[in-house]
A and B are shown apart, each in its own frame.
Chain A
Amino acid sequence: MDYLAEKYLRPRKIPSTACSGCGLGVIQKALVKAIDELGYGVSDIIWGTSIGCAGRQTFATWKGDGFAGTHGRVYAIARGLRLAIPPEKKLVFTVGDGDAFGIGFNHLLHAARTNTQMTIAVCDNLGYQSTGGQFGWTTPSGVKTDSSPYGMFEPNWVRDDMDVLHILREAGATFLARHVSMDGPRLEATFKKALQNNGFSLVHVIYPCTTNFGNNALGTRRAVDIFRWIKERAAPLGEEREGVIWKTGIYYDASNSRPEFSELMREKVGEIHRRYQNEGAS
């Protein structure tokens, strides 16, 4: 990580503030590597984060401009921000599952509807872990957490018949993928594609929380056990087997197929503005 860290990250934030063994850093590394391979510099990207482990631990790690929004609202903030910043800047977000699929879901849907450029890495630790470990909207069925002591029996949003990525696709997202943090080069390749979409890209990545999820759900904080537990339940799309929860790979790629929100706004407003400059006010 040395080369990447030196080029893209703030020394003050190294080492990361995440717990040791946490899988969050692996996702961020894959994302930064994808950014590097695409040839983007620090000033090409504004990095946004939110609340929860994914937000707090990645905030201000990026060497360039960055912000942490209110819980679940970065997708709304982004739609305003995009109108004001130079159009060539890219927004990259690291957020949590609670942020994207819970409190922020309404804004997420409208960001998808408008196809606003943002590459969102939903770093999914399978519940609310920074508050000690409560269930969330992707917590696997039967899993015990501090707020599902009898096992998670509410339906979650990662099922064949009820997948949050399907909802987002219907809502207008132009790039959607799912991975686990152990996917390595496949995850990087997906991030590269996501970043090249001038529109709404979301990559859902399950990662191991060693501190709370591991302890509550699996009864261990041993990183290897939790890594294995997730890995056993993941398989590439098309290679599914019994017991697989997370099918990994690109779910939908309609990159650059329809206008990006701020581009559309700039074009329409530009037209009207020119007309009124030529004709004078009505």
Chain B
Amino acid sequence: MKRYLETGNFAITQGAIIAGCRGFFGYPITPATEIAEAMSRLLPQVGGYYVQTEDETAAMHLAVGAALGGMKTMTATSGPGYILYADPYGWAIGCEIPLVVLNSQRVGPVSGITGAPGQGEFYLTRYPTQGGNFETIVLAPNSAQEAFFLTVEAFYLSERFRTPVTILADQLITDGWEDISIPETDEEKEAMGLRFAERKVHPGPEFYPPTDEIDLPPVVLGHNTGALCSDWTPTEEGYDIETVEAQHKHAYRLIYKIRNHMDLISRYETLFLDDDPEIIAVSFGTPSRVVKTAVKKAREKGVKVGMVRPITLWPFPDDLFNKKAIYLSVELNYDGQLVREVQRAAPCDSEVHFFGKCGELPTVAELHDLFDKLLKGEPLKRQGWETEAW
């Protein structure tokens, strides 16, 4: 095991290389630029390729193209670049091409504040492209160490599920300096729970069977398998077709290959859920670290509060919200995104509240004040506008 005092960006590149990533395609953007820089230095050392492209649309298309040739690939960006991934993201979902995408969220909309953390792309990662009829896998780390772990995991899931996987980080995770342990031996990797899956090549001729099975190899070009892939609805062999029957089979596979294997995907952290929490604070990413401290400290004072931190954001872990409680979603946005899913998943007789900040983290004191108000049934007043609104 090697220990470093390093950034989340560093941790992510280490995870990618350990997972077998040999192609990184990027376009400079704060706060993910350092991943591209590090990849440009590290990848050639292990025989891998770094290519800087003309824009993010190209970056992800190159990443998908190389993945379609059998390479494990990755690209990393922030919100303004992630939106330009929409086009190739859909193609990769539809053609079922494995690759890993990282989005380090900053403050939006558009370019917003470049050097501060935000969480405005919770829903965008669920619907990273147009058209619907698909399910996505999105993982959200809350530390550099976890970003390392989830990068390896993202490669693993992308291979088994034949789909792009997004790691949804934020500026503090990628830019922040932390103590990071990188395993070196196979034993250390195993002890850390890292999982690996190699790229396989689909032999054809039925590249798109109507099934929710996973572990089918993806389409790979260049192996003379007669491989076909396109942006149109495919027949089982990959020919383009315009019938609702074929489209139904295709959509069924894209949705249920993921939904029917949640046990392989779901990750979360909870606190005091079995200890009668009256309030359950919900958050992911960096703010969850403040929430965790606030919850623990409140418990020390006897406040009956618990915590849910989804690590797998999508598919959304509805099962984590089956307790009746007062839910408080703490997010780095002002419009309230995670809270909408919490309200949908929580029992109907639960109260669901929202506390949003953006560009800066909530404080423990602020959260304690909120817990207090919620228990007293007072409205959540805040500066700038009267009550919580989402």
Contact = CB atoms under 8 A, between A and B. Distances in A.
B45 A67 contact: no
B182 to A, nearest CB: 12
Given A68-B232, A73-B88, A265-B49, A81 B239 contact: no
Taking residues whose C-beta sits less than 8 angstroms from the other chain, chain B's interface range is 35 or more
Interface in A151-166: none
A272 B51 CA distance: 15
Given A60-B228, A73-B57, A77-B68, A65 B222 contact: yes
B54 A84 contact: no
B341 interface: no
B224 A84 contact: no
A79 B51 contact: yes
Contacts of A89: 222
A84 B70 contact: yes
B68 A81 contact: yes
B240 interface: yes
B310 to A, nearest CB: 31
Nearest to B42: A281
Nearest to B99: A80
B256 interface: no
Interface string A28-57: 000000000000001100100001000010
B13 interface: no
Interface string A64-75: 111111100100
Contacts of B54: 106-107, 109-110
Nearest to B239: A60
Contacts of A106: 54-55, 58
Interface in B217-251: 221-232, 238-240
B101 to A, nearest CB: 14
B69 A80 contact: yes
A281 B221 CA distance: 33
B142 interface: no
Contact residues of A: prevailing secondary structure: helix
Interface string B39-69: 0000111111101011101100111111111
A167 interface: no
A237 interface: no
B329 interface: no
Contacts of B53: 76, 79, 110
Most interface-central of B62, B227, B229, B240 (chain A CB within 10 A): B62
A275 B95 CA distance: 37
A192 B71 CA distance: 31
A59 interface: yes
B218 to A, nearest CB: 13
Given A70-B87, A70-B91, A80 B63 contact: yes
B240 A68 contact: yes
Interface centre among B67, B224, B230, B232 (most CB of A within 10 A): B230
Contacts of A109: 54
B88 A70 contact: yes
B230 A269 contact: no
B225 A65 contact: yes
B77 to A, nearest CB: 15
A257 B113 CA distance: 46
20 contacts: A65-B224, A67-B68, A67-B221, A68-B229, A68-B230, A68-B240, A70-B87, A73-B58, A76-B62, A80-B23, A80-B61, A80-B64, A80-B69, A81-B68, A81-B221, A81-B222, A82-B69, A85-B222, A269-B44, A272-B45
Interface of B: 23, 25, 43-49, 51, 53-55, 57-58, 61-71, 73, 87-88, 90-91, 95, 221-232, 238-240
> Which 4 pairs across A and B sit closest by C-beta, in order of nearness?
A84-B69, A80-B65, A80-B62, A85-B222
